Structure 1
Amino acid sequence: MKRSLVVTGLSVTIFCFFLFSGPSAAREMNVLETSTVTVLFDDRLESAARQAAALYPELVRELEESIGWRLQEPCTVALINDRTAFRSMAGMDYVAAVAVPSRRLVVVDYTRAAVRPFSFRTILKHELCHLLLHGHIDSERLPRWLDKGIAQWTSDGMAEIAMKRDRFLVPRAAVTGNIIPLRRLDRGFPRTEKGALLAYEMSKNIIDYIIREYGPETPAEILENLRRGNDIDEALQTVILVPLDELERRWHADLRGGGSWISFWAYHLYEILFVAAALLSAAAFLRYLKRRRDYSRFDDGDDGTDY
């Protein structure tokens, strides 16, 4: 591995261009290079950079085995140790990493990615999956929900969002009618944290549904059809014999099944118990008042006779 300090010039200029932020985002970055990956990193992150360089070939191998394609190399991984700077580059506050497929670049907010054990590994794998997919499928043919869902599937459910996950979110949305139509997630996700979290969870959930209903090899077959030039409806029709709208209808029906209602009530169990306890307490208090009123009437009628 070669290590050097990027001070000015082409590397910094390209780095800023990658991040869509213009010259104001210029920053000095250290560089660690191998034959397949260049790791740019802030000061105090040399150990993390060496970890990224060591993990890279392992993660690429796992992704290539899962999907069956080769990752176009070399790639660049940038590790940022400044949350404010990363937020200004990414344009969003709720993500811990972003991928720029057109530049084969992954940018990681290391202050968030290293919070939990193994999260850096899975976040890096998630972002590399985006590079692999976009290296073989034209972005116009790759729906965002499928892109995000496949990346979560290959990285054990991990997304790049820095928000608490909610496994009941999609079933609740299905039960309450707040689920987002998939075609609205073709080109982008909501910008709000609440909307983005639902979109991420939906993307993961529908891939899980496809695997459960049509087999574990189905996602890779759908991707292969997209690579051959089919759109998403044609790819789904070829692989699972139904277009997107019908797949979505079946998925929604599955979500609204008994399991979703159980999930919905389980999620709200504490609120239900609290309300039930409050109602029981109120009923008991009303009974107490009624009895006290009855006793008061009895006392008022006492004529002093001793029987």
Structure 2
Amino acid sequence: MSRKARLVARLTLVSVLVSSLVLMKIPTVPNLYINSLIREINKRVLVWYSYSRGMDALSGERFIVFYHAGRQREAEMVLTAAEGFYPALAENFGLEIQGPVPVLLYDDRESLNKSFGWPADADTLGVYWAGSIRVLSPDAWINSADERDYYRVFAELGPMSHEIAHLFVDYLSMGNCPRWFNEGVAQYQEHRLTGFHFGEACSFPLEKAFSLEELAGFDTLEEQNRAYHQSFSIVSFLVETYGWPAVVSVLREFGRGADLEDGLKRVFGIDPNTLDGEWKRWVRYR
């Protein structure tokens, strides 16, 4: 067995053993702790994997960017954006993330999509997964000879603010956040920091609205732009009506094991049907 194979086997064994101990000690909501355990193991495995592949690394205060030779300029831009967005997001979520967050820079869209088993032409700029962030090289999608405009485009249209917001949601909710709610929160923070959105929050076409039951299958919906727009609109409604701290409180309730219905009741005093009706009235009459 090769050294690499032995290390992978050991990491797998450690994961199984620790997961078993967690289940024995915390039988009430084991999935939350297993999600957190997997996240921390994945972060360390990705760092080891990147170094073992001979990738270069650029370290900041909160992030470490891994990249292939010849991509240092882009890695520097990714690190600058990540470190720049972090303080505002940490303040907004009321949380500090311990340890460096690994960011893996992919040279082209095909290799990024391949790492998740997606079609080669999937329109992806970045992905958050289990404590790590995967990013498409800015050179693969930005066409600008002006250095200042190049950096501006990446900061405003790139994935860093959005994916780092997912990072905070994951930590607060311990991985127990409805997918549409997660996307709505990430978009809300992205819009706040960069101005980007899939559509104005208060102008969603209600005749095309998904039910909350349909939104529960977020990734299976064919009209993804509409799903993103609706999730952003609903979270924006919650922020405007109840305040951003209340949304953070819902994420913390998810982290204690609450489902969507319980989280809404505990923080807002409403159920999913009431949320749907109040949101639609907000869009209709705002």
* Structure 1 and Structure 2 fold alike (TM over 0.5): yes
Query: Normalising by the residue count of structure 2, what TM-score does the alignment of the two structures yield?
Result: 0.68
State how 1:1-307 maps to structure 2 within 5 Å. Answer: 29-34=55-60, 36-90=62-116, 91=118, 93-101=122-130, 104-111=131-138, 114=142, 118-121=152-155, 123-139=159-175, 141-156=176-191, 165-167=198-200, 171-172=204-205, 174-175=206-207, 178-186=208-216, 188-190=218-220, 192=222, 195-255=223-283, 257=284
Query: Normalising by the residue count of structure 1, what TM-score does the alignment of the two structures yield?
Result: 0.64
Deviation at 1:144, TM superposition (A): 0.6
Counterpart-to-counterpart distance in 2, 1:37 and 1:168: 31
Deviation at 1:143, TM superposition (A): 0.5
Contact 2:201 2:236 in 1 (8 A): no
CA distance 1:29–1:248, shift in 2 (3 Å) = same
Contact 1:40 1:77 in 2 (8 A): yes
Listed one character per residue, the Cα deviations across residues 47-69 of structure 1 (whole Å, up to 9, x for unaligned) are 12123333433322211100112
SS in 1 for 2:220: coil
Aligned-residue Cα RMSD (Å) equals 3.5
Listed one character per residue, the Cα deviations across residues 110-161 of structure 1 (whole Å, up to 9, x for unaligned) are 246646753533521211121222123232x3001111111111122689x9
Deviation at 1:180, TM superposition (A): 1.5
CA distance 1:64–1:166, shift in 2 (3 Å) = closer
Deviation at 1:34, TM superposition (A): 4.2
Letter paired with 1:199 = A
Aligned length: 231
Stretches of structure 2 that go unaligned for 5 or more consecutive residues are 9-41, 47-51, 144-149
SS in 2 for 1:189: helix
Listed one character per residue, the Cα deviations across residues 69-127 of structure 1 (whole Å, up to 9, x for unaligned) are 222422111122212222322415122111112xx211111246646753533521211
CA distance 1:153–1:119, shift in 2 (3 Å) = farther
Letter paired with 1:110 = S
**Which has the higher relative contact order, 1 or 2, with Cα contacts under 8 A spaced 6 or more apart?**
2
Quote the sequence identity (%): 19
Contact 2:65 2:75 in 1 (8 A): yes
Counterpart-to-counterpart distance in 2, 1:206 and 1:118: 29
CA distance 1:58–1:171, shift in 2 (3 Å) = closer
Stretches of structure 1 that go unaligned for 5 or more consecutive residues are 1-7, 19-25, 260-307
Counterpart-to-counterpart distance in 2, 1:206 and 1:63: 20
Counterpart-to-counterpart distance in 1, 2:212 and 2:256: 22
Contact 2:105 2:137 in 1 (8 A): yes
Contact 2:66 2:75 in 1 (8 A): yes
Give the corresponding residue for 1:305: none
Counterpart-to-counterpart distance in 1, 2:201 and 2:89: 28
CA distance 1:150–1:56, shift in 2 (3 Å) = same
Give the corresponding residue for 2:17: none
Give the corresponding residue for 2:13: none
Counterpart-to-counterpart distance in 2, 1:39 and 1:99: 14
Give the corresponding residue for 1:295: none
Counterpart-to-counterpart distance in 1, 2:277 and 2:285: 16
Counterpart-to-counterpart distance in 2, 1:119 and 1:227: 35
Contact 2:201 2:232 in 1 (8 A): no
Letter paired with 2:129 = V
Point out the structure with max Rg over C-alpha. 1
Give the corresponding residue for 2:20: none
